[in-house]
Structures are given as C-alpha cells and as structure tokens.
Structure 1
Amino acid sequence: MSKSNVVAGLSLDRLDAITQHLDRKYIEPGRLPGTLTLVARHGEVAWVKAQGMMDVERQKPVQRDTIFRIYSMTKPVTSIALMQLYEKGMFLLDDPVHKYIPAWRNLRVYNGGTYPHFKTEPAATTMTIRDLLTHMSGLTYGFMERSNVDAAYRQLKLDGSATLTLETLVEQLAELPLEFSPGTAWNYSVSTDVVGYLVQLLSGQSLDEYFREHIFAPLGMDDTGFQVHPDQLDRFSACYLYQPGDRMKLQDDPMRSRYQKTPTFLSGGGGLVSTIDDYHKFAQALCQGGAYQGNRIIGRKTLEFMRRNHLPGNQDLPGLSIGAFSETPYEGNGFGLGFSVRTDVAKSQTNGSEGEFGWGGLASTSFFVDPVEDLVVIFMTQLIPSSTYPIRQELRAMVNGALV
C-alpha cells in the first residue's frame, strides 16, 4: 500500500471496496436505489462516494448534494437543542416533565383493555426530562404494532398526520396510558417529539426557527430543514419501500411529496431532510467536542455527558428494552442523551470502539462518531424500513478495516 493511497490514516483502496460491495450486493440487484457514503477522520473528509440513482423512475443519479429524508437522524439534533437550553440553566434533567406540561402530572400505566376503554394504574415513578432523552419515558410509537397502547397511537395518528401539531400530540398523550412506569424500561418512542415541544416551550421559538438560529446557521447547514423548497426540488431524492423478494417500490415521489409543503407537525423525532455534507458538519461538531470550524453548538463537558451510557446500572439495551425495534443492534449498546452508545465491542459483534455513538433513520440512513479514532461515517440512501438489510454493520466492518 503506497502512502499516496492513505488519507487521514485511512486506506483509500480498502474504502473503495465499499463501492464494489454496495454495487454488487445492493444496487445492481435492485435492492437499493442508490447510496452516498462519507468517511472523515481527524476533521478531514477522506472519502465520499455516490452510487446508483436518487430517483429510479426519472433515472437521476445520486449526487453529493442530493437531499435525503433523514427521519430519526433528526433526534440527535433535537437532543442537542434541548441540551443547549440545559446549559443556559433553563431546566434540570431530573425535573419532572409535568413541571413544564401540567396535564402530565398524573400519568397512568396500561393494565388491560383497548382504546378507548383502557384499564390503568398509577405510574410508580415520575417521568423526568432525562427519561424523554433516553427513551425510558414509557411512551411508544404506533408503528411498533406490539401493544394495545401503540394501536391507540395508530388510531389517533400520533406518529404524524396532516393535522397533527406538537401541541395536539402533547395533549393527546396526556390522555393515553404509558407502556411502563418511567425509568424502568427502554422503548423507542415519540419521546424526542416531546423533547422538541420542550425546546419550543423553553425557548419561545418554533422548533424550525430554533434549529435554524442555534444549530443550522452556526454550522452552515443551509440544506437542512423540515421542508424542501422549490429551488431544492431538483436535488430531492425519491423514497422506496421494501417489497418481498428483495425488491422495492416507490413510497414517496419527490415531485408530489408532502415535504414540499410547510408541515404543521415539526417532528423533532423524525421530520428533517438534509444532505450528506450538512449532516457531516453536525456530526463533525459532535466528534470535535461540540464545535465545527470555530462555531460551537454545545459545550465539551455537556457533550461528554450526553454520550455516556445513561441506562441504569450501565446496562445495554437487551437488559431493558421491551420493544423489538431500534436504529442500532441491541447487544453491546447502551443509550445516552439522544443517541446510542457502544458499551462493549465484543458483545456487539461488530468492530469499532467503546464510546462510539450515533443513530439512524427510517429510510436506512445512518451515522456514527468514533471519538477514539476521531472518525465520522455517514451513509445515505432511501429505503424503508431501516431494518431491511444489515448495511450499517457491514459498513462499520469495512470502514474500520480501512484504518491503518
């Protein structure tokens, strides 16, 4: 291996093997429309590769400036936003949520029945803001399809609808039982949408305005937001839905997409669109202790605090999870204040470093930050659901294999 083929301590030849892998296994057989992968180390973008189509029907290839639906990769942004307000002394993590949402004072836990005739019992614990940030709140998602509580979420369209707002979400959640007493289990949920509501409440700004002023503008994330504007439309990708037999069908046509309209529901849990370079600026700030190119979005000690495992007794997700869904493999991973945290590399059965953190999105996008290796990896595609293929683990294996 010549030195000219090494950038930032990464073998470009070995990274190029990712191209062949994605083409041969996913793009050429029609399992994925197209992909865009970025690997950065020591603050330098070492390798970026666009492959396949951003819009199969119109035969438009993926470009570096393609705009993707990042879904739950919105969650780390929202969590950083709330922790910015924590740094201003506006709340404490052990504050009860009902201090800010009075209607949540007497939350109850499911004990039988179906909506609207639930049997409930009083929650044994009080929900705190940390419970929201760690998904230990007792809330859930409608798409889980695991319980009678999430069936009520689907019936009320609490995962998102044309009429839903953050205010109506919070009002309706007050009327529904929790899946468990807060702090006693882990369940992926609308918790981060409630975090977004708290950002609005504490800051006095709408969530889109707050993001723009305090995160996107300082980092130069000009293509990230809750809406695709007319001048961005030509760069907006199509989104696809997995079909049995490793096929896919169009799920959201960019030219007819709801993302062209200003949403009523500013989902801090999954509402943003972004580009790979925009999201790299955000992830690079997280890798560099909270600042990117001299612009700080979060304090170094606050970020260190956020990327610790906040699950009780330093457990990993299998020890506490009641649901079957996460944007990360469970084994060897805990959860911090807004993202998953690698606690045990051997147990995770995927190479990497203890302390690596990140998250993914419903349409199979993902990112991770490895502070030990000073490494940032971002992967963009558009296939729902994210659990379809084990690409995230394969990418970790190949990127870590390129370290020299």
Structure 2
Amino acid sequence: MTGLHRVLDRYVSGGAMPGAVALVARGDRVETAALGYAQAGGGTPMAPDSIFRVASLTKPVTAAAVMTLIEDGRLALDSPVSRWLPELASPMVVRTPDAAVEDVVPAARPITVEDLLTFRAGWGFPSDFSLPAVGLLFSELRQGPPQPQLVAAPDAWMAALSRIPLLHQPGEAWLYNTCSDVLGVLIARVSGGSLPAFLEERVFGPLGMTDTAFAVPEGGLGRFTGYYRSGPEGGPLELIDAPDGQWSRLPAFPSGTGGLVSTAADLYAFARMLLAGGLTDDGRVLLSPGSVRRMTTDWLTPAQREGGALFLEGQGWGFGGSVDVTVRDPWNVLGRYGWVGGTGTAAHIVPSTATTAILLTQRELSGPTPPPVMRDFWRYAAGPELP
C-alpha cells in the first residue's frame, strides 16, 4: 500500500465515501491511487480512469478558454462584455447589499471581461446567502449544487440574469460562482458556436482530454461514478445522481461554472499545460506564458480577500481558481493555484515545485470549507518526497 493509498484508505474503508481516485505528481514522478467502489455498497471497483462530476474544477478550464479568445484578439481584458452580451448593457446595482431588489441604482461603469474572470462583476455568492439579491441567483438561475438538466438554455438564462441586480458595483467585491457561467455564454457568443464545441476544439482536443465533457462521453457510462451526500444523523450515504442521471446527456445550459465530467488523467493533462507555460505535451502552444501567469496570479485586494473569506480562507483569486498568497499550513503553499469542486473534487498546481495534486471523490461537500480528507491529501502532496 502506497503512502497516497494509506492517506485515503481510512476515509474509504471507514465508509465516509464509496471510493476515490487521486494523483500526486512532482516533475516526472507520479503517484496514483484508486480505491473503493464507483457506487456505494460495492460493485464496480474504482479505477484510475473512473469518470467523476468535477463541479467547480470546470472554472479554470472556462478561464483558459477565455484566454485563448484574448490571444486570438477577439476579446481583451478591458472589453465591455455588453458587445456580445447585450442583456448586460444597463446593469443595476442594489443600493446596499441588504437592500430590496427594487432599491437599485445604475452601475457606475460597464462590466468587463476582467471583471468576470476575477469574479468582481457584481453577481455571485457573498458570505451572507440571505441577502435578497442573492436569493434570486438560486431561484431564477439555479445557481448552487450542479443540476444540469434543470437550468434554462443560455439565452433564457441571460435574460433572467439581466433582471437580477448586482450586489456590488463592477470591480468592487469578489463574489463566488456566477461569473464563470456568464463567461461560458460569452465564449459561445464570441466564437459563434457552442461552449462544448469550443472547449473540444481549443482545449480538450489539443490536450487529449478525451473523457472531459458536459455529458459522459459515449461508451463511458460503465466508468461513471455515483454521486452522494451525507445521510441524516450519520446514516448511510444518500444517492444524488446515478450514472444514467443528469450527466448522461447534454444539458440545455453547458455550465462554465460546474458542468464538466472528467478523469484524473485528463485533469493532469490540463495541469501539465499550465506548468509548461501553456504548451501541450507535443509542444503546441495552447496559451502563452503571459496568459498562464495572469491565470495563476492573485488579482484581489486584501479587503476583497477578506470579503470572500467564507470561500477563500485567506487565499487570493486568479482567473478561474484560487491562488495561495501566504503559507499558513502544509496545504497552503505560496503560489499554489487551483480549486475545489462541491461534488468532492480538488485539483491544484504548485509552479515553484512543478507539483500537481488531484483528488476525485463522489461525496458532496457539506459547505465551502474543504473536508478533512482534502486537507490530509494536501498535507501529503506538500510533503518532501514521493515514493
């Protein structure tokens, strides 16, 4: 039993989760572990190529796709997005964050591409979910835990978004989640196609990410895991989504926030590209080193990091993922970039040590705080050596 296997085994054998797949790489040294089962109660053993709902690990992929459009000259960081998203031409802002949704003032300036990439456009989740303007994100947009088949098609979704006031003026505050979905629609409209088609052409195809999509690839259902939440009062895990459920067919709204399924190998291919300064394994340029630096640089002020503390835990935010700005614990490594998915997933890189750490489970997170299994995994990944 390897060290990585031992870290995860007590959670799997103890019943906290049906199974897990993990990968830790430093340079050319790679350690993987696959343990437990794809479904609660046994059956198909977990395998290195098992497919998971990766939830918010979609966000860095969406950000990378936007950067390809910027490199093409079709977008710029300071571009007002209303050129392609006319629904956002005249956004309104609640007078104060706790104001009624009818108590609004005009936005002081247009929303830009950079505002969306840095999650500072004005829509999203603050620490207080009870604010009136935040409630509309759940009721009108189906924000929250991913439910792909329940979300309206992009044009209808954007129309609904346009009726929801901003919680803060553009550029003022970091708010979680919604901006990546807006970016997904922006990519489709700028490219003149669909988000799935663009990602396949510009990201998944060049990187060989054959198991990554907004629905389980054809022939892949046998490798697709179940998705569970904690049972009441410590009871058995409850099934949220079976392999033939919401990800078995393409949704009307491909979510740039949390819609993808993927594997450890595919996510590792994406991580290798970032660590190589935007190059694919065969030397092709997917992104420039400058674009990778922008993605993996913290853009937030100290006040904005503090305002997002419920999600960020002192971290900063790049494009599509968090950036560690201090060293506080073994799992907070200066410059670490990546994110966590609410379906029980995590993927990070540490450029200074050429480290990649990927953990895929199928147990829903109970809140924004990463669970003990992730923290133990990060401690192991931050260790001095691999076997």
- Verify same fold: TM over 0.5: yes
Task: Kindly indicate whether residue 196 of structure 2 is the aligned counterpart of residue 208 of structure 1.
Answer: yes
Alignment partner of 1:70 is 2:50: no
Q: Which ranges of structure 1 fall in alignment gaps of 5 or more residues?
A: 1-12
Structure 2 residue 102 is the aligned partner of structure 1 residue 118: yes
Query: What are the Cα deviations for residues 219-255 of structure 1, in whole angstroms up to 9, with x where unaligned?
Result: 1111110111451111000000123545521111113
CA offsets 1:304-362 (integer angstroms, 9 cap, x no match): 122111113xx3754232x73x3xx422x11112211111113xx33453211011211
Residue 342 in structure 1 maps to residue 327 in structure 2: no
Partner of 2:9: 23
Does the CA contact (< 8 Å) of 2:94 and 2:101 recur in 1?
A: no
1:238 aligns with 2:237: no
Change (3 A) 1:166 1:390: farther
User: Hey, what's the Cα distance between the residues in 2 that align with 1:100 and 1:20?
Assistant: 50
Correspondence 1:320 to 2:302: no
In structure 2, what is the equivalent of residue 10 of structure 1?
none
| 1:8 corresponds to | none
Instruction: Tell me how far apart the structure 1 counterparts of residues 169 and 97 of structure 2 sit (CA, whole Å).
Output: 18
Distance 2:166 2:101 in 1: 14
Question: Matched residue of 1:260: which SS?
Answer: coil
2:33 match = 49
Partner of 1:401: 383
- Could you tell me whether the CA contact under 8 Å between 2:142 and 2:151 is conserved in 1? no
Match of 1:178 among 155, 166, 184: 166
SS across alignment from 1:292: coil
Matched, 1:187 2:175: yes
SS of equivalent to 1:109: strand
Question: Which stretch of structure 1 is more off in the superposition, 106-115 or 219-228?
Answer: 106-115
Q: Is the 8 A contact 2:123 2:167 kept in 1?
A: yes
2:299 is aligned, of 306, 310, 320, to 310
Q: Does 1:359 align with 2:339?
A: yes
The 2-side partners of 1:94 and 1:229 are apart by 36
Q: Where do 1:140-159 residues align within 5 Å?
A: 140=124, 145-159=129-143
CA 1:289 to 1:243, structure 2 compared with 1: closer, same or farther past 3 Å?
same
- AA matched with 2:299: H
Supply the AA of the counterpart residue of 1:382.
Answer: Q
- The AA in structure 1 aligned to 2:3 is A
Distance (Å, rounded) in 1 between the aligned partners of 2:285 and 2:7 = 37
Q: Show the 5 A alignment for 1:150-299.
A: 150-159=134-143, 162=150, 164-247=152-235, 248-255=237-244, 257-294=245-282, 295-299=284-288
Amino acid in structure 2 at the alignment position of 1:63:
A
More strand by share: 1
Q: 1:141 Cα shift? A: 5.1
TM-score by length of 1: 0.87
What is the distance in 2 between the residues matched to 1:122 and 1:157? 22
Contact 1:37 1:378 in 2 (8 A): yes
Equivalent pairs counted in the alignment come to 378
- Cα deviation, 1:9-67, whole Å, max 9, x if unaligned, reads xxxx9xx333223222x11221111111101121x252100111111245222101100
Q: What SS does the aligned partner of 2:247 have?
A: helix
Change over 3 Å in CA distance of 1:352–1:154 after alignment to 2: closer
Cα displacement (A) at 1:112: 7.2
Deviation at 1:197, TM superposition (A): 1.0
1:378 is paired with a residue whose SS is strand
Q: How well do the aligned residues superpose, as a CA RMSD in angstroms? A: 2.5
Q: Secondary structure at the match of 1:74?
A: helix
Equivalent of residue 100 in structure 1, options 84, 87, 93: 84
Q: 1:106 to 1:21 in 2, by over 3 A?
A: same
One-letter identity of the residue aligned with 1:396:
W
**Aligned equivalents of 1:401, 1:58: Cα separation in 2:** 32
Distance 1:352 1:147 in 2: 31
Deviation at 1:115, TM superposition (A): 11
Say yes or no: does 1:59 pair with 2:39: no
In the aligned structure 2, how far is the partner of 1:99 from the partner of 1:194?
14
1:372 aligns with 2:357: no
Instruction: Output the amino acid matched with 2:242.
Output: D
Contact residue 126 and residue 307 of structure 2 kept, 8 A: no
CA contact (8 A) 1:316 1:343 kept: no
Q: Would you say the 8 A contact 1:317–1:330 is kept in 2?
A: no
Partner amino acid for 1:357?
Answer: Y
Specify the alignment match of 2:371 in structure 1.
Answer: 389
Please tell me whether the aligned partners of residues 353 and 372 of structure 1 are also in contact (alpha carbons under 8 angstroms).
Answer: no
Q: In the alignment, residue 6 of structure 2 is paired with which amino acid?
A: Q
Normalising to structure 2: TM-score of the pair? 0.90
- The answer (yes or no) to whether the contact 1:230–1:260 under 8 Å persists in 2 is no
